[in-house]
């Protein structure tokens, strides 16, 4: 059984990081096994290729220069994680009052009580795998009442082919703390590698976390599992921009565990060639008087496949919830596909919820209009696609990040 489950990962060394409790994770993984086509949440996800691979342990960081052309040129504190480990040469972290950054490998028991709280509400095979094989984890803590004005950029780069990288980010915001994280997942001279990442965030009362996330993993596999826990009066926003990857899957799980919370999930996925990009989101409204807003836009061309599955659960006593969900997709070729499923499960009676999804082509009338004014066809298409994602790009906190994201559209 164990052998069968771990077939693709048999060459990999279990994590020696104390915090990741690798033995327990393996046990849990073997107990539930990996999802397959019969697992409701994974039925479109083409995992077969991933499981046919035979991954190796990642190599130590070796990049000497910052991969500028693949990243937004932010002039902000940057942590570079290369093949799962910190690249100390490229990491540049300002000393900021109230911000603490620690590595799992260098932390002891005191951090153990802070992690896995939200993760353990969910049983997820890839998250267990991540714990079993963890290369390194970063813990970021912002202390009470500290508002970090400068965004923190965390670059996760894979620079080796056919390796499996298991990385983790833990964010802890104390009361009234504020933080913006830019997260870039990219590859450099790598193909057929697998980056399996887990983010867990705990947002205390009145705290505010904003994440802008970029994924550009041409010819590689990437699964990101995110577990967010919000306390009352807190705010959480995540904007996910996914550009390429043999398989990209984002599993975003948010427990809204307090009143008067604001939760916002936005995303853009552009899928081309034979790529597959999948966004699964779950917002769990456990307490009353909260708002959540979700908006994802897909642009699919060639033989790409996009998936959007957004689920909102409003629990029994969570009255006066406002939950809005929207998904729009544009198919640019006859062979591109999208599977869209917005879902609402409401167990409270006094709520305002809406959800909707549309899939269509680029508006021919609008294209002709722009062309007739002298905008060339290619530029007109780009303008329309930019217009299509504009309301989401406008949510990006950092201007450089936004420029980069818009520049990557076709």
Partner 1 sequence: MSNTIIKINNLRCEVEGQEILKGLNLDVKKGEIHAIMGPNGSGKSTLSSVLAGKEEYEVTSGTVDFLGNDLLELSPEERSWEGLFLAFQYPVEIPGVSNVNFLRTALNERNKFLEKDQISAKDFLAMVKEKAALVGLNNKLKNRSVNEGFSGGEKKRNEIFQMAMLEPKLSILDETDSGLDIDALKIVSDGVNQLKSEKTATIVITHYQRLLDYIVPDFVHVLSDGKIIKSGDKSLALELEEKGYDWLKSDI
Among residues 1, 40, 372, 407, the one that binds partner 1 under rule CB under 8 A: 372
Q: Which stretch binds partner 1 (CB under 8 A): 17-25, 123-131, 253-261, 362-370?
A: 362-370
Q: Choose one: 96-104, 119-127, 143-151, 370-378; the region binding partner 1 (CB under 8 A).
A: 370-378
Quick check: 93 binds partner 1 (CB under 8 A)?
no
Q: Is 356 in the site for partner 1 (CB under 8 A)?
A: no
Nearest approach, Cβ of residue 286 and partner 1 (Å): 35
d(Cα 215, Cα 181) in Å, to the nearest integer? 14
Among 73, 379, 399, 410, binds partner 1 (CB under 8 A): 379
Beta strands in 257-304 (DSSP E): 262-271, 276-285, 291-300
- The correct pick among 335, 387, 399, 410 for binding partner 1 (CB under 8 A) is 387
Work out whether 102 is an interface residue with partner 1 (CB under 8 A).
no
Min dist. Cβ of residue 339 to partner 1 (A): 25
Q: x/- string (CB under 8 A) for partner 1, residues 311-350?
A: ----------------------------------------
* Placement of tokens 């028991």 in the chain: 109
CA 220, chain centre distance (Å): 15
Nearest C-alpha neighbor of 311 from the set 325, 297, 321: 325
Nearest partner of 41 among 362, 309, 385, 394, judged by Cα: 309
**Secondary structure (3-state) at 396:** coil
At its nearest, how many Å lie between partner 1 and the CB of residue 334?
A: 17
Torsion of CA 100, 104, 106, 107, to 10 degrees: 70
When computed from its CA atoms, the radius of gyration of the chain, rounded to whole angstroms, is 21
CB 178 within 8 A of CB 144: no
- Cα 292 to the center of its chain, rounded Å: 17
- Structure-token pair, residue 213: 């996330």
Asked whether position 390 contacts partner 1 by CB under 8 A, the answer is: yes
Residue 48 within binding range of partner 1, rule CB under 8 A? no
* Closest approach of partner 1 to the CB of residue 215, in Å: 22
Region near partner 1 per CB under 8 A, out of 74-82, 143-151, 256-264, 386-394: 386-394
x-or-dash string of contact with partner 1, 257-276, rule CB under 8 A: --------------------
**Residues 6+ positions from 212 with CB-CB distance below 8 Å:** 151, 180, 181, 182, 183, 238, 239, 241, 396, 397, 398, 401
Q: Considering the complex, what minimum distance in angstroms separates the CB of residue 379 from partner 1? A: 6
Residues 6+ apart with CB under 8 A from 119: 127, 198, 200, 227
Question: Which of 238/380 has CB closer to partner 1?
Answer: 380
Residue of 134, 224, 370, 409 that binds partner 1 (CB under 8 A): 370
Nearest-angstrom CA–CA distance, 171 and 80: 16
In angstroms, the CA 386 to CA 168 distance is: 32
| Contact between 40 and partner 1 per CB under 8 A | no
Pick between residue 347 and residue 368 the one whose CB is nearest to partner 1: 368
- Residue closer to partner 1, measured from CB, 301 or 363: 363
Binding window for partner 1 (CB under 8 A); candidates: 122-130, 195-203, 253-261, 388-396:
388-396
Should residue 162 be labelled a site residue for partner 1 when binding is judged by CB under 8 A? no
Q: Is 410 in the site for partner 1 (CB under 8 A)?
A: no
Separation between Cα atoms, residue 343 and residue 323, nearest integer Å: 11
* Contacting positions for partner 1 (CB under 8 A): 363, 365-366, 368-377, 379-380, 383-384, 386-391
């Amino acid at each position: 059984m164990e052998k069968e489950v771990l077939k693709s990962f048999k060459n990999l060394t279990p994590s020696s990081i104390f915090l990741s409790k690798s033995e327990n994770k393996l046990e849990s993984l073997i107990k539930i096994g990996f999802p397959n086509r019969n697992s409701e949440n994974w039925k479109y996800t083409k995992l077969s290729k991933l499981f046919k691979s035979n991954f190796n342990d990642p190599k130590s960081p070796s990049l000497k220069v910052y991969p500028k052309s693949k990243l937004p040129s932010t002039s902000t504190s940057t942590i570079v994680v290369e093949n799962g480990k910190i690249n100390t040469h490229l990491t540049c972290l300002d000393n900021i009052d109230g911000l603490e950054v620690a590595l799992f490998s260098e932390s002891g028991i005191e951090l153990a009580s802070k992690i896995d709280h939200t993760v353990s509400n969910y049983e997820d095979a890839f998250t267990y795998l991540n714990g079993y094989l963890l290369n390194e984890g970063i813990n970021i803590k912002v202390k009470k009442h500290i508002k970090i004005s400068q965004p923190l950029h965390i670059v996760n780069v894979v620079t080796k082919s056919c390796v499996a990288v298991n990385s983790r980010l833990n964010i802890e915001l104390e009361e009234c703390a504020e933080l913006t994280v830019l997260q870039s997942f990219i590859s450099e001279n790598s193909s057929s590698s697998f980056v399996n990442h887990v983010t867990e965030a705990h947002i205390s009362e009145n705290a505010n976390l904003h994440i802008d996330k970029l994924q550009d993993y041409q010819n590689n596999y990437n699964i990101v599992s995110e577990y967010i826990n919000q306390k009352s009066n807190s705010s959480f926003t995540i904007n996910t921009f996914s550009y390429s990857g043999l398989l990209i899957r984002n599993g975003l799980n948010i427990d809204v565990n307090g009143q008067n919370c604001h939760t916002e999930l936005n995303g853009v996925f552009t899928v081309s060639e034979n790529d597959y990009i999948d966004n699964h989101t779950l917002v769990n409204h456990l307490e009353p008087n909260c708002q959540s807003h979700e908006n994802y836009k897909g642009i699919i061309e060639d033989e790409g496949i996009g998936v959007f599955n957004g689920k909102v659960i409003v629990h029994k006593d969570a009255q006066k919830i406002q939950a809005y969900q929207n998904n729009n997709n544009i198919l640019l070729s006859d062979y591109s596909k999208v599977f869209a499923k917005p879902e609402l499960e409401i167990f409270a009676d006094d709520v305002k919820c809406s959800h909707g999804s549309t899939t269509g082509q680029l508006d021919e009338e609008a294209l002709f209009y722009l062309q007739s004014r002298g905008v060339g066809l290619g530029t007109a298409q780009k303008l329309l696609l930019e217009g299509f994602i504009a309301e989401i790009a406008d949510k990006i906190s950092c201007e450089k990040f936004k420029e980069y994201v818009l520049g990557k559209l076709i």
